[in-house]
Amino acid sequence: MTKVRFAPSPTGKLHVGNIRTALFNYLFARKAGGVFVLRIDDTDLERSTQAFEDGIRTDLNWLGLNWDETFKQSDRFDAYDAAAQKLKDAGLLYACYETGEELDRKRRLQMANSQPPVYDRSGLRLTDAEKAAFEAEGRKPHWRFKLSGNPISWTDLVRGPVTIETSSLSDPILIRGDGSYLYTLPSVVDDIDYKITDIIRGEDHTTNSGAQIEVFEALGGKVPNFGHQALLVGADGGKLSKRLGSMSMEDLRGEECIEAMAVNGLLARIGTSDPVEVFHDIDAILVDFSLDKLSRAPARFDPEELTRLNSKILHTTDYADIQIRLTEIDCDAGEQFWNAVRPNLEKLSDARAWSDLVKGPVTPIIEDAEFVAKAADMLPDGELDGDSWSAWTGAIKEATGRKGKQLFMPLRHALTGQQRGPEMAVLLPLIGHDKVQARLRGENA
Ligand code: GLU
């Protein structure tokens, strides 16, 4: 049974890079009929907050990336303590007493001698008496995992064959001097206990995976498959700009008013061999999804492409599927209204201007009062409908001899107070007879 996890730390808001990882895990699980787990990596008790955790859950729900199981690392310290003890007993987790400054000095010296800045394993050679002396000085040990020094190889789900030379790595610190866990050990313990079959994450974790595979083996766990996707870069291939890199999901769904399926659709397709297309639901993305299609080159994230996709999605979204969203942003003015305005929308929030325009009050622009007054006299009586605009303007044309822009623009300006917008034929019945009359008379209505 395929089982994957998305494991954010609740020390900040989710941004597009994290979401891409979440999306790939979700799609991978669904494609295999497997299980998608949300793990909250909150071992850093000081920087993790409930608000960030709630935000992560809200974002994922909003995107439709629903998890089947969820848990928090802060509930599992007993399991991590037991695993650490097991490694200590096996002689694979050893105490070190260097201060940060001392380690820095060692590294600088190694570099000055053209040696790689790899930890020299002094901790491993300490006698009990030396350790006792450090402790008596008030030093607390941090704990390092003893790597084998052998090359570690796997077939990466994205990158193909990968080899990490553990001989060129420092033994990783698993437990800090204050007793807190770094991410490496808890993650492996959880992946073993929760029977995770595939770990899909960013390529910044590739080296880490080499060390973690050895921890899996040391704990007697089954080593999962790994897939490391390339990171996101900006549209020009350079580093994601600060603004975009830090653009949170909360901004995208709130202030930017972007649709969930624009985010999902774009992130699923950039950096793959498939084109960016309009999808109205996640199941449609699933059809062609495969990690095999991911390029090893970084994926370019272009916010303009996001906006373009967003507008294409809106243009083809049915009223029934958007009604809740329209209500959320307080601009639901019915199905006719939606069908009339959607071709003009880039973002859903653009609909607000049009719903305000229909509901009023609007300040008319009247350039030629005489013409507009004549038009007002000729407005058909009673309810206006889809045919009213052509009947009305046809009659005005006959009476005044005006046509084209000369005929339509003054009416649009008077009725909407704007230079352009949705088709007047559709707008007219939405505004309604009384408001049309009032606006033609120059009243705010
Ligand atoms: N909390 C880790 C991170 O956000 C999880 C990495 C992983 O998926 O193993 O980088």
Delimiting residues of CATH 3.40.50.620 domain(s) in the chain: 1-75+230-316
What is the 211 CA–ligand 1 centroid distance (Å)? 14
Across 161-173, average pLDDT: 97
- Report how far residue 307's alpha carbon sits from residue 304's, in angstroms, rounded to the nearest whole number: 5
Predicted pLDDT of residue 245: 67
pLDDT of residue 240: 80
Helix (H) or strand (E) holding 264: helix 260-269
pLDDT bucket at 7, cuts 50 / 70 / 90: very high
For the domain spanning 88-175, the CATH number is 3.90.800.10
404: pLDDT strictly greater than 90 = yes
List, for residues 282-327, the tens digit of each pLDDT value: 999 999 999 999 999 999 999 999 999 999 999 999 999 999 999 9
> In 3D, which of 168, 164, 156 has the Cα closest to residue 116?
168
Q: State the closest ligand 1 atom to the C-alpha of 18, by its place in the atom list counted from 1.
A: 4
In this model, does residue 418 exceed pLDDT 70? Answer: yes
Split at pLDDT 50, 70, 90, the class of 55 is very high
List, in sequence order, every residue forming a beta bridge with 420; answer none if it has no partner. Answer: none
Per the prediction, the chain carries an average pLDDT of 95
Tell me the CA distances in angstroms from 55 to 8, 59, 63, 68, one per residue in order. Answer: 11, 6, 12, 18
Which whole number is the average pLDDT over 176-197?
97
Out of 3, 190, 205, 213, give the residue to mutate to test ligand 1, the one with the largest number of ligand atoms within 8 Å of its CB.
205
Task: Give me ligand 1 centre to Cα 184, in Å.
Answer: 9
Q: What does the alpha-carbon distance between residue 247 and residue 243 come to, in Å, rounded to a whole number?
A: 6
pLDDT exceeds cutoff 80 at 241? no
Q: What angle do CA 270, 274, 280 make, to 5 degrees?
A: 80
- pLDDT value for 269: 97
Q: How confident is the model at residue 354 (pLDDT cuts 50, 70, 90)?
A: confident
Is the model's pLDDT at 237 over the cut of 90?
A: no
pLDDT at 423 over 90: no
User: To the nearest 10°, the Cα dihedral for 325, 330, 335, 341?
Assistant: -90
Query: Above 70 in pLDDT, residue 93?
Result: yes
Q: Can you list the alpha helix ranges (DSSP code H) found in 6-47?
A: 16-31
Atom 5 of ligand 1, nearest CA residue: 7
Instruction: Show the beta-strand stretches assigned E in 239-383.
Output: 299-300
Q: Which fold has domain 1-75+230-316?
A: Rossmann fold (3.40.50)
Q: What distance in angstroms lies between residue 370's CA and the mean position of ligand 1's atoms? A: 69
Give the β-pairing of 160-165 and 151-156: antiparallel
Whole-number Å distance, alpha carbon 6 to ligand 1 midpoint, is: 8
Q: Where are the beta strands (DSSP E) in 166-212?
A: 173-175, 198-202
Average pLDDT of 405-420? 95
pLDDT-derived band of residue 340, with 50, 70 and 90 as boundaries? confident
Q: Please tell me the distance from the alpha carbon of residue 56 to that of residue 14, in angstroms, as a whole number.
A: 6
- Domain(s) labelled CATH 3.90.800.10 in the chain stretch across 88-175
Whether the per-residue pLDDT at 246 is higher than 80: the answer is no
Residue 181: band (very low, low, confident or very high) from pLDDT cuts 50, 70, 90: very high
Give the Å distance between the CA of 70 and the centre of ligand 1: 15
Kindly list the distances between the CA atom of residue 271 and the CA atoms of 227, 253, 293, in Å, as whole numbers in the listed order.
15, 23, 8
* pLDDT for 68: 98
Q: Which of 3, 26, 201, 203 to mutate to test the pocket of ligand 1 (most atoms within 8 A of CB)?
A: 201
Atom of ligand 1 nearest to the CA of 6: 8
Dist. CA 40 → ligand 1 center (Å): 9
The pLDDT score that the predictor gives to residue 356 is 87
Strand, helix or coil for residue 74: helix
Q: Distance between CA 368 and CA 407 in Å, rounded?
A: 11
Q: Which tokens go with 51?
A: 């608000």
Q: Which residues approach ligand 1 with their CB closer than 6 A?
A: 7-9, 41, 183, 187, 201, 205
Q: Looking at residue 407, what is its pLDDT?
A: 96
Lowest mean pLDDT among 78-92, 147-161, 354-368, 392-406: 354-368
Supply φ then ψ for residue 249, to 5 degrees.
Answer: -60, -35
